[in-house]
């Protein structure tokens, strides 16, 4: 059971790593003017809810399986994703809005957030990998 939790979390973490890289590539394309703001925001907004669900899955799994350290490690990122989704102003297209993405340095902050999430998911990947190997050896 414990190994299955970490295997599922590891696969989920791989998907989140790829999603973070996709966000970074799309935002850098916007920064270099390879795509327009509307196309960029529509591409990224499609993946906000799946990212939220994919981040909440290992958080809930760790809570249910009573792995408190990993649960507490995942909780702030899951809470941040929920906060971001809830705080979208009325009238905006989504978390990424084409009319506001160039205002007040939002593009840079979105890029920084994507880089931080990539680093976090890489850290979680190795924690899940180590925990999975440890669980398989102990079983």
Give the pLDDT confidence of 51-93 residue by residue, as tens digits: 999 999 999 999 999 999 999 999 999 999 999 999 998 888 8
| Geometric angle at alpha carbon 41, from 104 and 121, rounded to 5° | 90
Angle between helices 48-64 and 2-31 (to 10 degrees): 160
How high is the mean pLDDT of the chain? 94
- Report residue 122 as tokens: 């890489």
pTM beyond 0.85: yes
Q: Do 55 and 16 contact (CB within 8 A), yes or no?
A: yes
Quick count: other Cβ atoms within 10 Å of Cβ 10? Answer: 18
Task: For residue 127, give the H/E element and its range.
Answer: helix 106-138
Domain count, the chain: 1
Domain coverage including residue 19: 1-138
């Amino acid at each position: 059971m414990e190994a299955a939790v970490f295997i599922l979390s590891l696969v989920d973490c791989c998907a989140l790593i790829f999603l973070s890289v996709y966000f970074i590539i799309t935002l850098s394309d916007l920064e270099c003017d390879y795509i327009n703001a509307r196309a960029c925001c529509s591409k990224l907004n499609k993946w906000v809810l799946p990212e939220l669900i994919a981040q909440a899955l290992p958080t809930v799994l760790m809570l249910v399986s009573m792995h408190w350290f990993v649960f507490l490690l995942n909780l702030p990122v899951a809470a941040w994703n929920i906060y971001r989704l809830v705080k979208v102003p009325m009238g905006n297209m989504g978390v990424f809005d084409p009319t506001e993405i160039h205002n007040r340095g939002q593009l840079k902050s979105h890029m920084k957030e994507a880089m931080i999430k990539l680093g976090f998911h890489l850290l979680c990947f190795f924690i899940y990998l180590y925990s999975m190997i440890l669980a398989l050896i102990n079983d």
